[in-house]
Structure 1
Amino acid sequence: MEQCLLCQQSLTSELTLLTLLMGYQGAQEQFCQTCLQKFQEITGPICPGCGRMSGDARLCQDCQTWQDKGETLIENRALYVYNQQMKDYMARYKFIGDYRLRVLFKGGMRKQIRRRMRAEKIDMVTSIPISSQRLQTRGFNQVHVFIPISKGFLEPLTVSGNHKVDQSSKTRVDRLQTTQPFEFKEGMEPRIRGRRILLVDDVYTTGRTLYHASAQLKSAGAAAVFSMTLAR
């Protein structure tokens, strides 16, 4: 009996023809409906700056603060609310490193990224880098699977040597006070000039990480920087 990859309860859904003939399971078929229904999609009016679901389409207080600091908003768009179910998913996928869980949001994120690339005329997609220590511990960059294979994919940034503490271990105040953690890989800065760039990350919390990455890319002459996250 197959089990839900999230709660380990037995799956009672009927087997599809592909499963019977080839042993193939679609992403949704590997999770029970109880678990799937706990994820909350972002619908209706959103903050145009960070993608937070709201009662109207005005800037939220956080994004007004970014504007007051002189930042050009990155117009983040997200698929899901960062509720308890998403936090539990991230704990398993990102921190424990359960690579099987990548399949749940892979298709939806790739679809929305392609749509955003067309809408914003994006010519370069990149992900927020993770430290070499974190990559070695987890074994994978949790965001890479969400990005569609494209000639425009490039990783120009890396985590600088004196920034090794994960954002997840910091308080909100500590996150906002974090100094620039990213630097360019050798020879990458000239490849940024004039590009319209889409930054991809897993979760938008304070926005500090995304705005740090955006600032570096703009310092090298990026024409525009937008962002896309799984959750907000």
Structure 2
Amino acid sequence: MTECLLCNVELLTRPSWKSLLALDDEMVVCLECFSRFKRSNQKFEDTLLKNITALYEYNDAMRDYLHQYKFLQDIALANVFKNELRDVVKSKVNIIPIPMHPKRKVARTFSHVEELLKCARISYSDVLEKKDDETMGEKSKKERLAISPLFNLKSNAIIEYEPYLIIDDIYTTGTTLRHAAALLIEAGAKEVEAVTLIRARLND
């Protein structure tokens, strides 16, 4: 018996031809829970970024999901959006996740962005490192916009004159993505796009 990862009800699923051929994955949450997430597929531009795609909007269901996944360390929830994430990046190359600071990764026990990619079976390059262990969620919009550079390139990183795709869990003001994009472009990237699981709004 398979249970929904969010509400623990029994999932009544039947194998599809896609899942049997490993082209798709069965749902890991029930339809009722999944329907509470508000799909966005919003595409927009930001400074230094050619294109940003946000898959979902931030609502009560997503807030609860993030709390359980990131703060209660329920790593199995990385599987919830693997099909959607895989579909949107399947033709992309040079995929780079936004990293956690090593101290915060130890505290959380896993990197939530990297785990999303692993569950979606998406290859990625670990070339960025976070300079401090503060989170953007602890800062106001004004503080985010005034922050000093957030990332360094790892010493063995090689950035070619090619397109790159940054992956993050949530877009609010875009500060994190802009800092990463600026570093990659300075290092030689041709252009930078981004995909985030969620787009949220931040009040001043």
Could you say whether these structures have the same fold, taking a TM-score greater than 0.5 normalized by the shorter chain as the test? yes
Shift of 1:197: 0.5
User: Which of 36, 39, 56 lines up with 2:37 in the alignment?
Assistant: 39
CA shift digits 1:74-107 (9 cap, x unpaired): 4111211122211111111122210011111112
4+ runs deviating over 6 angstroms: none
Q: In structure 1, list runs of 5 or more residues that go unmatched.
A: 19-25, 50-62, 64-70
Secondary structure in 2 aligned to 1:86?
helix
Q: Which moved more, 1:211-220 or 1:164-173?
A: 164-173
Q: 1:27 to 1:99 in 2, by over 3 A?
A: farther
In structure 2, distance between residues paired with 1:7 and 1:169: 29
Q: TM-score if structure 2 supplies the norm length?
A: 0.82
- Write 1 or 2 for the structure with the bigger share of strand: 2
Q: 1:114 aligns to what?
A: 90
User: Which of 114, 127, 145 lines up with 1:176 in the alignment?
Assistant: 145
Shift of 1:27: 4.5
Identity %: 32
Q: 1:17 to 1:221 in 2, by over 3 A?
A: closer
- Write 1 or 2 for the structure with the bigger share of helix: 1
Could you tell me which amino acid in structure 2 is paired with residue 155 of structure 1? D
- Contact 1:74/1:211 (<8 A) preserved: no
CA RMSD of aligned residues (A): 2.2
- Contact 1:194/1:221 (<8 A) preserved: yes
Answer 1 or 2: higher relative contact order, Cα 8 Å, separation at least 6.
2
User: Which of 122, 125, 129 lines up with 1:154 in the alignment?
Assistant: 125
User: Which of 102, 110, 120 lines up with 1:140 in the alignment?
Assistant: 110
Q: In structure 2, list runs of 5 or more residues that go unmatched.
A: 17-24, 200-204
In structure 2, distance between residues paired with 1:37 and 1:183: 39
Q: 1:206 to 1:133 in 2, by over 3 A?
A: same
Could you tell me which amino acid in structure 2 is paired with residue 182 of structure 1? F
- Whether 1:165 and 2:134 are equivalent positions in the alignment is yes
1:124-139 superposed matches below 5 A: 124-139=94-109
